[in-house]
Structure 1
Amino acid sequence: MKLAAFLLLAAAAASADEAKKAPSPEEQALMEKYMKAAAPGPEHQKMAKMAGKWKLKVTSWMAPGAPPQTSEGTAEYRTIMGGRFLEEEVHGTMGNDQPFEGRGIDGYDNVTKEHFGTWIDNMGTSAMMMRGKCAGEGKKCTMKGKMADPIAGKEVPVSSIMTVKDDNNFTWEMHSPGPDGKPFKSLQIDYTRQ
C-alpha cells in the first residue's frame, strides 16, 4: 500500500514537472512581461552612481523666516536586492547635539515609471513615503508624499527636490507646511562625496 501511494505521488510530481517545462505561449508571454518589469534598468543604473560615503551639511528651519539651525552628518548609500534599490543610512546630530539616525530606501518602479522613496528615523515612529519624477538625465528629481506631523496630529503633504550638481555633490530639499499651512523650505541637506 505504501509503495502504491509513493508511486502515485512520484507520478504526480513527474507530471507536474512536465507541465512546468512546457508553459503555454500565453504563460510564456506573461512570464516575460513580469521578468522585464522586475529587472533593473537604466534608471537603476543612474541611482547606483550614488553608492558610497557622503558628508552632510544639514540646514533646517522651524518656520518661514526663522533662523536656520545647522548640523553635520554622514551618509552611506549602497545598492541592494540586485541593484533594484538604493539604501541610505544616515548618522549625525540634530538640535542640541541630539543623536540622529535615519534610513531610506529609494527606487524606480518600472511599472508606474516613477521614482519613490521611503524614510524612517529615530525622531519618530512613522514612515515618510514619496513618489515622483526625475528630469534632465536624473539631475533633478521632484517628489510628493505625506508625513506624520506630531504637532498637527495628522499626516501632512510634503515635497522634495533633489538637484544633482555632479557625481560628487547634490542637494536635497524638503518643503512642508508652515504654521499657516502653506509649504516652505524646511530642510536642506548638501551632500559631498567623501
Structure 2
Amino acid sequence: MPQYRIAVVVGSLRRESLNAKLAAAMTRLAPPEFGFGRVEIGDLPLYNQDDDANPAPSVVRMKGEIAAAQGVLFVTPEYNRSVPGVLKNALDHASRPYGRSVWAGKPAGVMGISPGAVGTATAQQHLRNILAYLDMPTLGQPEVFLQFKEGLFDADGSIGEASRGFLQGWMDRYVAFVKRQSA
C-alpha cells in the first residue's frame, strides 16, 4: 500500500500524447511507497467564477483527487510558448474559490517532452510562475526539458537505457523532496 499518493496532471488531451507516455514511464521509476494516479482534466468545463458555489461534478472529483494527494507531478507539452489551455483551466478550477485552493502546500514536480529542440522550457517556466503563486513548493533541479528521439522509450513504454539514469535521478530527487515537504 503506497504511503504517498501523487496526483499526475498531464497537460495534453491527445490520444497518443508523448507527455502522457512520459508520465506513465516516470511512475515506474518510483519506489513502492509512492503511488501515482492520473487526474482527468479534459472533462472540466471552462472556469467561470459564477460556478464557484455550485461546481460541476468533474470539478469536485478533480479537487478531491488533488486534495487527497501528498504531491503533484505536472507533465506538460508547450503550446504557443506557454502551458496548454486545458492545464491552465484545471489550475484555475482547483485554486478557487479564493482562499480554498487545493494546490496550496502540495510539493510539485514539473517536466515535459516535445519534438522540438528546447523541449518544453518556456511552458515549464510559465507553469513554475503559476505554481509559485498557488503556494506549491516546486522541485527546482534537475530540470527536465526532453526532446523526443527514437529510443527514449523502450518497446514496453519504459524509459530507454540512454535516458534512464538521468530520469531516475530526477525521480529520486522528487521522492526525497516530497518526503521532506510531508514531514
| Higher normalized helix content (fraction of residues) | 2
Larger Rg computed on CA atoms:
1
Q: Give the TM-score normalised by structure 2.
A: 0.31
TM-score of the pair, normalised by structure 1: 0.30
